[in-house]
Chain A
Amino acid sequence: MLGFNLLNLAIWVPILAGAAVLATGSDRNAGAARVIALVGAVLGFAVTLPLYARFDSLAGGFQFITIKPWIETFNVNYHLGIDGVSLLLILLNSFTTVLIVIAGWEVIRERVAQYMAAFLFLSGIMNGVFCALDALLFYVFFEATLIPMFVIIGMWGGPNRVYAAFKFFLYTLAGSLLSLVALIYLYNVSDGSFSLLDYYRLPLALVPQVLIFIAFMTSFAVKVPMWPVHTWLPDAHVEAPTGGSVVLAAIMLKLGAYGFIRLSLPITPDASHALAGFVIALSLVAVVYIGLVALVQADLKKLIAYSSISHMGFVTLGIFIFNPLGLEGAVIQMISHGFISGALFLCVGVLYDRMHSRQIADYGGVANTMPVFAALFMLFAMANSGLPGTSGFVGEFMVILGAVRTSFWYAAAAATTLVFGAAYTLWMYKRVIFGAVANRHVAGLADLNGREFVVLGLLALAVLVMGVWPNPFAEVLHASVNDLLAHVAQSKLR
């Protein structure tokens, strides 16, 4: 028996729901598939809510711990537990899954059951990544996310989907295979344990630490993605169906950042300190250079993809400046970016479903025909450029404040995003939404339907609530972040 544990439910409810959806079979039963998927997704979100309610935000360490022997030959345990960081990401993930099911309701007409099932599987697997306290379990979940995403991009994607799907899969696999070698090495030096908690306590000399750090980093940097291994992301985003883009941007990229927080920092603290400058440099390049790259994009999805990379630069920057403000800001930024980038991709999806074009040049004057959409899109664009009062501001501001304490120049470089971010987002917004009606296709656009309004409305609510009152999000982080930083401050060298 696995025993009753909310984390088990968070992982397995979506996966079982996915299996049930898959069982409906061909498109003759598409209606049933949609309903089961929605029920499964809502149920999956519902079982994560008690986690927040019962989470003790004053306690450090891990909560809701389950530990059961899994592969005794290798001393692998089914070991689950969460801290504040995982809690928020699990909530974000389960919430996003509901939105994706609704967003794909009528848009997906072919192989509906497989589409819905893939997202439900993905949701459960990613919750698994956020819960795992056993390195092998973590790796298994981390890798398993590739299979549904590969299928999603390849089956429901755009014209160049095969290339994008392969690039996505091979890039990420290349990264994570090296971290597998690092994990096996750790297993051997820790006398046969795969427990992350054992690894946290394991003393390591600097050279192995640096090598392990680099192995982890190849895996997580690809996932985040950090400059210069980001090139798979624009391709994957452009070709993926709307739901795929949303999951990629909102959750999957966070797996990388989460890996830094859960594995790299606590297992190799000295290497993290030693190489922090390097990671920060890459992060700042992402923030500044990728921000400029976003400026010149002609494709809506590509623009948002580059904007994602730039915003994720903030996250890695916040993680590697090693102060509570920066790290908390990084996590807040992860959640906020989940809402905002998800919303922006959904907005592009709304336009694409009507016009079948993602080129900015094909649009213009959409505000005239889709006023409600224009208003919501405006909110998300503002949030993306970091307007105070939206969630986008909170995380970026905290990271910049944290960076000032380390070095003024880090903060100065990071702060340029407030200019570039506003520039590329608002300029894009202006070209698409304002002005005279560009052509007869735009003139024929219909405004949001009820389903789309619900999805975007929920996200708008989340963006505003988090922007105005971030405390419920931040308070669960304090203890976990302080715990982690205290741990990272201690040298593991002996």
Chain B
Amino acid sequence: MHFITPLLPAYPELLLLAMVCVILVGDLFVTDDRRVVTYALTQAALIGCFLTTYLTAAVEPVTTFSGMFVDDLMADVLKLLTYLGVMVILVYSRPYLAARGMFRGEFFALVMFATLGMMVMISANHLLTLYLGLELLTLSLYAMVALQRDSAVATEAAMKYFVLGALASGMLLYGMSMLYGATGTLGIPQLADTILGGGARDVVLVFALVFVVAGLGFKLGAVPFHMWVPDVYHGAPTAVTVFIGSAPKLAAFAFIMRLLVQGLGAEQLLAEWQDMLILMAALSLAIGNVTAIAQTNLKRMLAYSTIGHMGFLLLGILSGDVVGYGAGMFYVVVYMLMNLGAFGMILLLSRAGFEAENLDDFKGLNQRSPWYAFLMLLLMFSMAGVPPTVGFYAKLSVLQAVISVGAGWSIPLAVFAVLFSLVGAYYYLRLVKLMYFDAPVDTAPIAPRMDVRVLLSLNGLFMLVFGIFPERLMWLCSYSIQVSL
């Protein structure tokens, strides 16, 4: 078996790939009323991946596939969280999918492929691997958005997503090809070495950087490359929206870390992309938060709020040091948890023939079910960054990273971010107001399945638990960044 051992770092990916094939083929033999078998297999595959990653996790980075693939602690942590996220999403969306005839093998296969794409992105150590993972992820996402093929909104969203996504991929590829032209290599560590050694022309590198950052901005949904976000979030079936909005953000974070920090983190380039990210972060904070106020559709509101949150994430990354990257990772993890919970609520209130996607659908939730209203309250205050919820610590660590840079722009940028998080607080509060201060319009009973009930409760309570004891999660993020860079 000695020829398999070198592939050890990629075992989770290989396992998942094998399982996708099993599910793709196996699903053909499963009738519609036994579809739960596919669902169970998918969950089992994810659990298997979780165990494999957990057991093979090591502090020392290991590479394989001739150095194109790396397995470090950051990758392990991000992957573990990705599996968790995907598993939770599948639980939340199961009733929703079943009620809309989307509880089919294709959905699960696409979810698994997308997950595989994310895992490859997270572990990429070579521009080609990175790109491969990204395309595997986004192509699966395009298909997932269009899964309800009779829905005009969904098809339009998928089209928009595809066209803009392809454009972004093109930019990214163009940037990468310039990097190759300037340095003669596509391996990320080699790229960094060549640049550090002064073996590349700065002009070409800066040009490449512009394209790369634009491509990243598209994938992340940061202003001014955010146009697709609201339409896709709104148009896609909620079960897909929650997927797009959560786990892929972890992968996008890894993408930025690999490409910008590990590949292009040399001092002269860092100063360049720092400036670009400052602009993108400031614009995202302003436009995301201000536009969210005008939304009446909750999914659109959360889409704009995502843009604002990506602004915060960028604040952490642009600090350009280990503290900042750790803060960014903490932010994106917390963001995923909050997003899962908030969309989980929308899925909870939706039922056959009814999408609870308007703000007014949350009216009087406290009278219908005080417990779920309380969970949503925690989620909203966490998104707004009010202590004692975990969202506050996410914002705190990012702001601390920005201020610790000590540059002339640090404190103005922090004040700017803080002011727009105040604007953000308004629309999160508005949802709390609808749930607590208004009388219910929709009075359908809320009786979710037991697994949804337990997971959603845990999800909401995590806001409070991590808000009171944030240490472990913070430490995990900053430590895994420290040992991986």
Contacts and interface: CB of A to CB of B under 8 A. Distances in A.
Contact of A177 (B421, B432, B433, B436): B421
A258 interface: no
Nearest to A26: B370
B141 to A, nearest CB: 34
Contacts of A136: 396
B474 A71 contact: yes
A188 B319 CA distance: 14
B243 interface: no
Contact of B414 (A74, A165, A173, A181): A181
Interface string A73-93: 110000000000000000000
B475 A169 contact: no
B397 interface: yes
B428 to A, nearest CB: 10
A114 interface: yes
B460 to A, nearest CB: 14
A114 B387 CA distance: 20
A279 to B, nearest CB: 22
Contact of A162 (B381, B393, B433, B474): B433
Interface in A158-206: 161-162, 165-166, 169-170, 173-174, 177-178, 180-181, 184-185, 187-188
Contact of B422 (A25, A74, A111, A174): A174
B399 interface: yes
Contacts of B396: 74, 136, 180, 184
A154 interface: yes
Contact of B471 (A70, A150, A165, A188): A70
A197 B254 CA distance: 39
A184 B315 CA distance: 15
B470 interface: yes
A72 B425 CA distance: 28
Nearest to A181: B414
A147 B381 contact: yes
B399 A140 contact: no
A184 B387 contact: no
Interface in B374-405: 377, 381, 386-388, 392-393, 396-397, 399-400, 403-404
Of B388, B426, B475, most buried by chain A (CB within 10 Å of CB) is B388
A212 B266 CA distance: 35
Contacts of B474: 71, 73-74
A151 interface: yes
A390 to B, nearest CB: 38
A453 interface: no
A184 B400 CA distance: 6
A26 B367 CA distance: 9
Contacts of A139: 387
Interface string A110-135: 01001000000000000000000000
Contacts of B381: 147
A165 B392 contact: no
A143 interface: yes
Interface string B418-438: 110110011001001100110
A151 B377 CA distance: 10
A185 B422 CA distance: 19
Contacts of A70: 471
B411 interface: yes
B349 to A, nearest CB: 20
A161 B437 contact: yes
Nearest to A174: B422
A161 B470 CA distance: 34
Contact of A151 (B415, B425, B436): B436
A146 interface: yes
Contact of A188 (B377, B406, B415): B406
A165 to B, nearest CB: 7
Interface residues of B, number: 35
B82 interface: no
Contacts of B388: 140, 144
Of B403, B432, B478, most buried by chain A (CB within 10 Å of CB) is B403
Interface residues on A, range: 35 or more
B403 A181 contact: yes
B387 A143 contact: yes
Given A173-B386, A188-B404, A73 B478 contact: yes
Contacts of A147: 377, 381, 386
A155 interface: yes
A153 B411 CA distance: 34
A177 B411 CA distance: 13
A72 B479 CA distance: 12
Nearest to B402: A184
B400 A166 contact: no
Interface string A19-35: 00000011000000000
Interface in A423-472: none
A136 B425 CA distance: 20
Contact of A150 (B393, B397, B419, B432): B432
Contact of B392 (A114, A140, A161, A187): A140
Given A73-B478, A114-B370, A154 B403 contact: no
A166 B426 contact: yes
Nearest to B393: A71
B399 A184 contact: yes
A194 to B, nearest CB: 10
Interface string A95-121: 000000000000000010010000000
A110 to B, nearest CB: 10
Given A143-B392, A147-B381, A154-B437, A72 B471 contact: yes
Interface in A351-410: none
B433 A184 contact: no
Contacts of A140: 387-388, 392
Contacts of A25: 370
Given A73-B471, A154-B437, A178-B418, 13 more contacts: A111-B366, A140-B388, A143-B387, A146-B386, A150-B432, A151-B432, A161-B437, A166-B426, A173-B425, A174-B419, A177-B421, A181-B418, A188-B404
Ranked 3 nearest A-B pairs via Cβ: A140-B387, A177-B418, A154-B437
27 contacts: A25-B370, A71-B471, A71-B474, A72-B475, A73-B397, A73-B475, A73-B478, A74-B397, A74-B400, A74-B474, A114-B370, A140-B388, A140-B392, A154-B437, A155-B437, A165-B433, A166-B429, A173-B425, A174-B419, A177-B418, A181-B403, A181-B418, A184-B400, A185-B403, A185-B411, A187-B400, A188-B403
Interface of B: 366, 370, 377, 381, 386-388, 392-393, 396-397, 399-400, 403-404, 406, 411, 414-415, 418-419, 421-422, 425-426, 429, 432-433, 436-437, 470-471, 474-475, 478
